[in-house]
Structure 1
Amino acid sequence: MTWDVLNIIGTIAFAISGAIIAMEEDYDLLGICVLGLTTAFGGGMIRNLLIGIPIETIWTQYHLFQIALFSIIIVFLLPTIIIRYWNKWGTFFDAIGLAAFSIQGANFAVQSGAPLSAVMIASALTGVGGGLVRDILAGRKPMIFQSDVYAAWGILTGLVLGLEWVHGTFEIIVLLIIIVALRMCSVIFKWRLPKHFKGQTKP
């Protein structure tokens, strides 16, 4: 039950995220659908490759493809004035997708018997993989490589689940809310990871 709900939440959130960015880049309907679907399923495909699950299993999730496509079409039909609020709400949808898929990826790795390090990597890549593919296809600087705290929340999710600090549906939901809140705080308060300081050089 929890697994299915996380799948649906993450799929809808990332499908909307990809569709809105495609509309910002002035893609046609086909381009919007392609970018929305690759954003929704890119993380899962990367996760499958990482922990040795046959990548073609992604095609068995036909109900999620229908949900993602339906979400994309709804976004496409929304008035332009609503899409202009992307900077406010788009980050929120992306945060939901990051949290939901990070939890899902970590759970998948734990159930596969992967070590803690692999659980953390699977969590992070599942959470950020869709957004990474989205940004590359849209010709944007991938969010994962920017200085704001993004992929770190996926790693933290993997650590928590890999150490089995969370059990049961209620605790999973609480973790989801915490990760979304942390991601939004990192955006609102401009939390940054350290960057290399480039000092001035003499002419």
Structure 2
Amino acid sequence: MDTAAELESGSGDESGTTPTPTPASPVTQLSLWPPPRSTRHSGRRRRQVVVVSAVVVAVLALAGGIAAALTLTAADDQEDVAEAGRTHLDAFVGSWSGEMVQVDTEGDYVADWHAEVRIEDGAERGSTAWTTFACSGTLEQTAAEGDRLVYTYTETADPQDRCVDEAELTVSPDGGGLAAEWSSVTREGTRMISTGLLE
């Protein structure tokens, strides 16, 4: 029976040839299939995905809350502006009357006359009567410039044929009344300006 030394050296080989020793290899077996996947880190990866998802949801919720708050603030600001506009226009609403002093283009005195003006709610339209001349007409707002409102006057009655068909009225708050300026052009082409205080 061969000893271990004889088996290692191949002395007991019947062919009489000595086999060549092979170097030691760490690969003991070759496989065509990939090695099984490690599950050691999958739990940590799953926790990271959950944490990242929660952070994204929280950020989106916060952004939505901020957007909603900004929308509500903008709506409140618009309501405040609208309320301020209504309060501003309320200063013009009502019935007013006063004496006007009329001058021509050169500033020469022409006449004194009495005007009555009524401005409706919203200050968009109204009516007027020039009692000295027995004329009357309607007013329609055409411009708002700061604290001034501009109206177009359109004549509706002129039984004595003494008034202009159209004029422009500009009013602005003055103490407890309205400073008024009427601007018109006569049939002869002369520009007339009448100013006064409506109370």
Q: TM-score, normalised by structure 2?
A: 0.23
Bigger helix fraction: 1
* Larger Rg belongs to: 2
Q: TM-score, normalised by structure 1?
A: 0.23
Bigger strand fraction: 2
Q: Does 1 or 2 have the higher relative contact order (CA < 8 Å, sep 6+)?
A: 1
